[in-house]
Amino acid sequence: MINDEHRFIFVHINKTGGTSIEKVFEPGADAKDVRHKHATLEYYRKHYRDRFRSYFKFGFVRNPWDWLVSRYHWSRDTQKLFDFGFDEMLRRIEAREPLNADAPWLEKEALQTQASRLSVRGAIAVDFVGRYERLQQDFAEVCARIGHAPVVLPHVFATKHTHYADYYDGHARDLVARVYAADIAAFGYRFGD
């Protein structure tokens, strides 16, 4: 999302509270996708060079173990992209098999590391990285930096499930640690946080 009024670029990583943030600036964001909804920072650098150089750039991240559980429920329950279990999704991710042959964007975009989506030439290049785990508090920091009055975020597109730790055994926990090692290293996440 690019906002010219407040001069920012928001890199919306799926299942990190991004639509709630977009809805503050575009009230219909939960009814239809905003322009460049899940574009990477590299995309903005390439296509909006002037704004990229001068606008405040931010994104939000989420614990990768929790993020995958939420992504699983969103893809299975809301988007109806598949009907298999969480363990099967992890098996396919590990084997690099498609989750849905008709939705190649799922692996190519939605399941890419969060760090890669906030990076330019392999380095995180946003001005601020907020955390889903403290979404409201970190969004207040964003508001202060862009000159927007503080606002309570709406909660949209929530997934329903138990605590993410319930979904993992040792192998599954280690698999996520390997596949999303870049996120764990960049943002300091641990299983159980």
Q: Does domain 2-187 have CATH number 3.40.50?
A: yes
Instruction: Give yes or no for residue 193 having a pLDDT over 80.
Output: no
Q: Of the ranges 11-15, 150-154, 156-160, 177-181, which one carries the lowest mean pLDDT score?
A: 156-160
Question: pLDDT-derived band of residue 155, with 50, 70 and 90 as boundaries?
Answer: confident
Count of alpha carbons within 13 angstroms of residue 132, beta-carbon side: 23
User: CA triplet 181, 11, 160: central angle to 5 degrees?
Assistant: 70
Each residue of 34-43: pLDDT tens digit? Answer: 888 899 999 9
Mean pLDDT taken over the chain: 94
* Across 69-81, average pLDDT: 94
pTM of the model: 0.93
Q: What would the mean pLDDT of 87-92 be, rounded to a whole number? A: 94
Averaged over 23-49, what is the pLDDT? 90
